[in-house]
Amino acid sequence: MIAQNVLLNEQEMTKWLNELQKEHQKVLFWEAQAKGEERKKFAGLRQEIERQQQRIARPQQIDYQSTAIKLVPPQTVIKNVIMAFLVGGSICLIGQIIYNLFTQSGLGLKDAAAATSSFLVFLGALFTALGYYDELGKVAGAGSIVPITGFANSIVSSALEFKREGYIYGVGARLFTVAGPILVYGTMVSILVGLVYYFVR
Amino acid sequence: MAQNKIGKQTLHFPSTPIITSWASVVGPMEGKGPLGEKYDLVLTDTLAGEKTWEKAEQKMMQFSIELALEKRNLLPKDLDFYLAGDLLNQITCANFTARFLNTPFLGLYGACSTFAEGLCMAGVLLEGGFAEKVGVSASSHHDTAEKQFRTPTELGDQRPMTAQWTVTGSASIIIEKTGTGIILTHATIGKIIDLGNSNAQDLGSAMAPAAFDTLKTHFEDLGRNENDYDLIVTGDLGLLGHGILKELLKEKGISPDRFNDCGIMVYSPDQDTHCGGSGCGCSGVVLTAHLIERLLSGYYHRILFIGTGALLSPLTSLQGETIPCIAHAVVLESRGE
Amino acid sequence: MLLKAFILGGLICVIGQLLMDLTPFNITPAHILVGYVTTGAVLSGLGLYQPLVDWGGAGATVPLSGFGHSLAQGAIEGVKSKGLLGALGGGLQATSIGVAVAIVFGLFFATFARPKG
């Protein structure tokens, strides 16, 4: 047993790792020959050695990570946030304009909302297919991911990417690689909300 | 004691296998990079006239080995062995290229270190007297790599600043027992180094310690230091990994002046790749298009080429595993008579 | 109303951007979208999302949290009209048009377009 969280130098480290490796091999050999309770005892011992093997490298890893992290180029957060705000806001603005047009043309409020979403999904899908949406996403980040056009982008991009694998396992299956989890968890939460509402009402 | 092994991990090739021919094929973006005019063939689009990117990558590899053979007036049947690898599942590009060549074939996987691994193994085959001519290829393709390792190419996500751009390119070389060209004198086979990085969008940080470990062992085994080389070039650490390697070198008192990285050389800074290039093709095309030429012209006399590879899969990154990395070093010299 | 939609929509997107840039985890679009839908649904269930929609209109409905809002409101409506069964089907019913449209266009464009890379 060695003390935890001690940064070992390379020789010590190699020495300990070799030692542990030797023991691991030996215990495994005994474990393979043992039966019943005996075997469980050896398995426990072996797992303890495996944990030791992982633990021993940990301080060295932390030491390296702290060196490496200093050199990581910073994300351009301010620029990203501004672009996300402008693009995300603009997409919502377009949504509002479309919604206004739909309500003016005589659609009910609910139908107008659904029609607006559908139209934005169409736009998102169209620009993805034309190859512009990923360029927009590079600049806008969350600004083009969060609106419903981003949902359309996630559907069309994965379907497009895998169309060469055929229409069943390619397009059909991949349509929902990103959208699937959204529907799964969205639906689950909505059912929970419904249930809570049912019992609380 | 193994006859041709020096120290812990270094192989010596006293018969000096010779790189007699080489060729590189790249995609349009690499063609616009700083080395653009030096590649043998720059494709006009990433599909290379094929239906899928995977087929396009396979064609690139085939083109590069065919070009290398043609330059030397050889045919595939003249090769004793063909060694190749790429990044795709089951190294399909290499396997499918070998299907065309009809030569004895060994598939390699060392992620982005594949080209260096191929050079090492070709050296071993020639030194052992098992072959007279060996072909080595490695390839990568930006779109196939994104599709396999990351997200669909049309998905509107932001690449983090630490990300590297997989090079669309393939390189091939022919190594022979006799001939004229660049000689292979030593190779250092790396160990797996894993310092706990798990971010698949930051492979430079993960691979730098592996490159450092191989480099250190190489110096110890041969009793050399950085001044024995005109250039020490790593495969695809990128800007971040290269910076970290320099830090590690400084800590050991090694001057980082003669170090460079293929991932930095392959693109110009305004190409918006963030940390530079990566992929099997990256180190391969820079070596074959640029470095070998400089060795030939006498600009460099001896270089150390260290291929670095991050051995992750999309599954292991999802499972939260850390990334094991490897680096193989090869000493290349111009024949100084 | 247009200005309000722009501001609210922009701010909702900024939250996502900050989550991606300032957290040490590798957050992908899928994480963001799932997070927004579930958060939107929960807020809506608590009655906190409707005020946003009233204030900012499309600024609150166009971001994917609005999709979560529709799901949750659908489930609540469902309970009102059909009881327990409505809790199960209401959410999907309310959003069925959007999902159907996404499938139609997804399939359509995947058939006729090619990924540019």
Q: Domain-by-domain residue ranges, chain A?
A: 10-71, 77-200
Q: What is the pLDDT of residue C25?
A: 74
φ/ψ of C107, rounded to 5, equals: -65, -45
Q: Is residue C117 in a domain?
A: no
pLDDT tens per residue, range A46-55: 999 999 988 8
With a CB cutoff of 8 Å and minimum separation 6, the contacts of B104 are B80, B81, B82
Q: A57 to chain B, minimum CA–CA distance in Å?
A: 8
Written as six digits, the tokens of A131 are 């190859």
Mean pLDDT over A90-100 rounds to: 96
Query: Which percentage of chain B shows pLDDT scores above 70?
Result: 99
Mean pLDDT over C90-98 rounds to: 92
Written as six digits, the tokens of B144 are 């196939």
Mean pLDDT over A135-147 rounds to: 94
Chain B segment 143-172 residues within 8 A of C by beta carbon are: 143, 151-158, 160
Q: C115 contacts in B (CB within 8 Å)?
A: 143, 152-154
| Whether the Cβ atoms of residue B229 and residue B300 lie closer than 8 Å to each other | no
pLDDT tens per residue, range B30-73: 999 999 999 999 999 999 999 999 999 999 999 999 999 999 99
pLDDT at A3 over 60: no
| Whether the Cβ atoms of residue A102 and residue A115 lie closer than 8 Å to each other | yes
Find the CB nearest B153 among C28, C29, C115.
Answer: C115
Find the CB nearest A117 among C6, C98, C114.
Answer: C98
Q: What is the pLDDT of residue A57?
A: 85
pLDDT at B224 over 90: yes
Q: Which domain holds residue C9?
A: 2-112
Domain count, chain C: 1
Closest CA to B336 of B297, B304, B281: B297
pLDDT tens per residue, range A150-198: 999 999 999 999 989 999 998 999 999 888 999 999 999 999 999 999 9
Closest CA to A194 of B113, B152, C91, B327: C91
Mean pLDDT over C54-66 rounds to: 94
Query: All domains of chain B, ordered by start, with CATH?
Result: 5-176 (3.40.47.40), 190-334 (3.40.47.40)
| pLDDT band per the 50, 70, 90 thresholds, residue A11 | confident
Size of interface A-C (CB pairs under 8 A): 276
Find the CB nearest B154 among C20, C28, C116.
Answer: C116
Q: Give ∠ CA A9-B203-B221 in degrees, rounded to 5.
A: 45
- Rounded to two decimals, the pTM is 0.93
| Whether the Cβ atoms of residue B304 and residue B330 lie closer than 8 Å to each other | yes
Interface test with B, best of A56, A72, A91, A135 (most B CBs within 10 A): A72
Written as six digits, the tokens of B150 are 């990351």
Q: Does B155 contact C20 at a Cβ distance shorter than 8 Å?
A: no
Mean pLDDT over C55-74 rounds to: 95
Q: Does B162 contact A153 at a Cβ distance shorter than 8 Å?
A: no
pLDDT tens per residue, range A19-43: 999 999 999 999 999 998 999 999 9
| Whether the Cβ atoms of residue C32 and residue C19 lie closer than 8 Å to each other | yes
pLDDT at C1 over 90: no
Give the total residue count for chain C: 117
Cβ of residue A33 closer than 8 Å to a chain B Cβ: no
With a CB cutoff of 8 Å and minimum separation 6, the contacts of A140 are A83, A84, A86, A87, A88, B156
With a CB cutoff of 8 Å and minimum separation 6, the contacts of B319 are none
| Whether the Cβ atoms of residue B161 and residue A75 lie closer than 8 Å to each other | yes
Q: Is B139 helix (H, G, I), strand (E, B) or coil?
A: strand
With a CB cutoff of 8 Å and minimum separation 6, the contacts of B84 are B61, B65, B91, B93, B94, B97, B98, B105, B107, B108, B118, B135, B136, B137, B138, B139
Q: B270 to chain C, minimum CA–CA distance in Å?
A: 19
Distance CA B262, CA B283 (A): 5
Number of CB atoms found within 10 A of residue A159's CB: 34
Higher-pLDDT residue of B112 and A11 is B112
- C neighbours by CB contacts (3+ pairs under 8 Å): A, B
Find the CB nearest C117 among B143, B155, B200.
Answer: B143
Q: C106 to chain B, minimum CA–CA distance in Å?
A: 13
| pLDDT band per the 50, 70, 90 thresholds, residue C109 | very high
Size of interface B-C (CB pairs under 8 A): 22
The dihedral built from the CA positions of residue A11, A16, A22 and A24, taken in this order, carries a sign that is: negative
Mean pLDDT over A94-119 rounds to: 93
Chain B segment 116-175 residues within 8 A of A by beta carbon are: 147, 151-162
Residue A100 class from Cβ within 10 Å (0-12 exposed, 13-18 middle, 19+ buried)? middle
Q: What is the pLDDT of residue B86?
A: 96
Q: What is the pLDDT of residue A5?
A: 64
Rounded to 10 degrees, the C-alpha dihedral C40/C42/C47/C52 comes to -20
- A neighbours by CB contacts (3+ pairs under 8 Å): B, C
Q: Does B157 contact C29 at a Cβ distance shorter than 8 Å?
A: yes
Q: Does A159 contact C110 at a Cβ distance shorter than 8 Å?
A: yes
Residue A194 class from Cβ within 10 Å (0-12 exposed, 13-18 middle, 19+ buried)? buried
Q: A150 contacts in B (CB within 8 Å)?
A: 156
Distance CA C65, CA C42 (A): 10
Distance CA C47, CA C31 (A): 24
Q: Is residue C60 in a domain?
A: yes
Contacts of A12-16 with C-beta under 8 Å, sequence gap 24+, read A13/A56, A13/A57, A13/A60, A16/A56
Distance CA A3, CA A196 (A): 51
What is the ipTM, given to two decimal places?
0.93
Please name the residue that has the structure tokens 């009102």: C80
φ/ψ of C69, rounded to 5, equals: -60, -45
Q: Does B240 contact A141 at a Cβ distance shorter than 8 Å?
A: no
Cβ of residue B196 closer than 8 Å to a chain A Cβ: yes
Interface test with A, best of B58, B158, B165 (most A CBs within 10 A): B158
